[in-house]
């Protein structure tokens, strides 16, 4: 990890600890104020607790042109990004994606889509609906390893993070507190409950919180749709395609609408925000990931709407290419931040319990 980055983060954290004006803003400040000196591990923990709501920056009296020149959201964003790259496994793709995310996402999606188009002409799949283009066996063979890879990669990464930040044994209360905080997006409401200043320094807003809610719960509904379809296929012998009022379709269409709306709402908010208050080097990678997530959901909805037309094979190839790219790139994209932030929230609950 860059020594100069840690040095600057420590300088700013020490000034914030002396000031304490932002004490109730989010989880970062109670964690910061419990300490008198900050190790590298402490600074990494603060960085991953930070949700980049930016309220502390706009409330601060020590930002530029003051000689202290504080930009705590910015330095924590850089440190957070640096920690993700350091703990990522394997490390090289993480660094590459943050700097060339748009190009990598585009090439990956189109490359996989072309492979799926080519696979269609290798021989008849012999099924119905989507399985007439690509057999169920082929889909399982391709997507099962692609689903397991990010779980393995993220598992290694989070274990490294937990060990580096000195995480101890976890109690049920730690997990419960962290889950409640994540489910409510508590830190995007800020301590005063009025929301954050992410896209407008003069106005508090819950827009970013609500956009995150749409993305998170939309994604969970889509995952539940896939899970229910798997159970119906293997446990009850009910094979796709499923009717509109079936559980996979109800969950999938609802989740897809939420995920598409949330992803492109986040893009809009990000375009209106100040880049210098986030990680400037990772801006392209973050944007590429959100657009990819929205495209996965949007292409899935398009496939549902036009699944009975001549456009279906092309739409299926694009959708499957996007899904495969999403899975394989997940450990190196901002999707990983959800896992790191969850670990940081558990670590914070653990620290509060230990110090009480």
For 339-348, what is each residue's pLDDT tens digit?
999 999 999 9
Residue 293 and residue 287: Cα distance in Å, rounded?
Answer: 10
Q: 265 versus 201: which is more confidently predicted?
A: 265
Categorize the per-residue pLDDT at 60 as very low, low, confident or very high, splitting at 50, 70 and 90: very high
Tokens representing residue 76 in the block? 């924590």
Categorize the per-residue pLDDT at 126 as very low, low, confident or very high, splitting at 50, 70 and 90: low
Categorize the per-residue pLDDT at 255 as very low, low, confident or very high, splitting at 50, 70 and 90: very high
**pTM (2 decimals)?**
0.90
94 and 220 share one domain = yes
Residue 260 and residue 148: Cα distance in Å, rounded?
Answer: 24
208 and 247 share one domain = yes
102 and 79 share one domain = no
In sequence order, what E strands does the chain have? none
Domain endpoint, select from 55, 83, 111: 83
Among the ranges given (9-13, 77-81, 146-150, 190-194), the one the predictor scored with the smallest mean pLDDT: 190-194
105 and 22 share one domain = no
Residue 223 and residue 246: Cα distance in Å, rounded?
Answer: 15
262 and 346 share one domain = yes
In this predicted model, what pLDDT tens digit does every residue of 273-288 receive, in sequence order? 888 899 888 888 889 8
Domain endpoint, select from 83, 111, 141: 83
- DSSP designation for 242: P
237 and 120 share one domain = yes
123 and 188 share one domain = yes
323 and 284 share one domain = yes
Residue 123 and residue 119: Cα distance in Å, rounded?
Answer: 8
153 and 7 share one domain = no
pLDDT of 246 > 90? The answer is yes
Q: Which residues contact 39 (CB under 8 A, 6 or more apart)?
A: none
156 and 17 share one domain = no
Nearest Cα neighbor of 105 from 248, 266, 295 is: 295
How high is the pLDDT of residue 29? 92
Provide the mean pLDDT of the chain.
89
Categorize the per-residue pLDDT at 183 as very low, low, confident or very high, splitting at 50, 70 and 90: very high
The domain total for the chain is 2
Percentage of the chain beyond pLDDT 90 is 56
219 and 112 share one domain = yes
Classify residue 183 as exposed, middle or buried by CB count within 10 Å of its CB (0-12, 13-18, 19+). Answer: exposed
In this predicted model, what pLDDT tens digit does every residue of 132-143 receive, in sequence order? 777 778 888 889
Q: Which residues contact 188 (CB under 8 A, 6 or more apart)?
A: 51, 53, 195, 196, 206, 208, 209, 212
Residue 188 and residue 194: Cα distance in Å, rounded?
Answer: 9
Tokens representing residue 210 in the block? 């609500």
How high is the pLDDT of residue 354? 78
117 and 264 share one domain = yes
Most confident of 18-27, 81-90, 189-198, 244-253: 244-253
Domain endpoint, select from 35, 57, 83: 83
Query: Domain range for residue 134?
Result: 90-355
């Amino acid at each position: 990890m860059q020594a100069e980055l840690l040095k600057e983060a420590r300088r700013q954290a020490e000034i914030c600890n002396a000031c304490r004006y932002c004490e109730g803003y989010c989880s970062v400040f109670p964690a910061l104020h419990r300490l008198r000196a900050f190790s590298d591990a402490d600074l990494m923990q603060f960085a991953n607790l930070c949700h980049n709501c930016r309220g502390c920056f706009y409330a601060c009296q020590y930002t530029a042109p003051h000689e202290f020149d504080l930009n705590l959201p910015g330095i924590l964003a850089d440190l957070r990004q640096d920690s993700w790259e350091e703990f990522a496994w394997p490390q090289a793709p993480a660094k590459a994606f943050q700097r060339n995310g748009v190009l990598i996402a585009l090439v990956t999606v189109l490359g996989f889509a072309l492979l799926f188009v080519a696979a269609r002409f290798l021989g008849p799949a012999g099924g119905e609906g989507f399985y007439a283009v690509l057999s169920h066996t082929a889909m399982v063979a391709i997507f099962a390893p692609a689903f397991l890879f990010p779980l393995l990669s993220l598992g290694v990464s989070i274990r490294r993070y937990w060990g580096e930040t000195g995480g101890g044994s976890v109690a049920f209360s730690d997990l419960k507190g962290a889950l409640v905080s994540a489910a409510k997006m508590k830190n995007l409401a800020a301590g005063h409950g009025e929301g954050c200043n992410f896209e407008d320094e003069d106005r508090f807003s819950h827009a970013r919180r609500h956009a995150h809610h749409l993305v998170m719960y939309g994604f969970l509904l889509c995952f539940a749709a896939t899970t229910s379809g798997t159970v119906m296929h293997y446990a009850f012998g009910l094979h796709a395609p499923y009717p509109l009022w079936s559980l996979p379709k109800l969950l999938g269409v609802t989740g897809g609408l939420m995920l598409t709306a949330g992803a492109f709402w986040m893009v809009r908010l990000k375009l209106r925000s100040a880049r210098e208050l986030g990680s400037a080097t990772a801006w392209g990678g973050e944007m590429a990931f959100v657009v990819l997530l929205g495209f996965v959901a949007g292409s899935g909805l398009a496939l549902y709407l036009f699944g009975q037309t001549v456009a279906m094979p092309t739409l299926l190839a694009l959708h499957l290419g996007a899904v495969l790219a999403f899975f394989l790139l997940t450990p190196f994209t901002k999707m990983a931040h959800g896992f790191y932030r969850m670990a940081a929230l558990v670590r914070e609950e653990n620290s509060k319990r230990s110090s009480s």
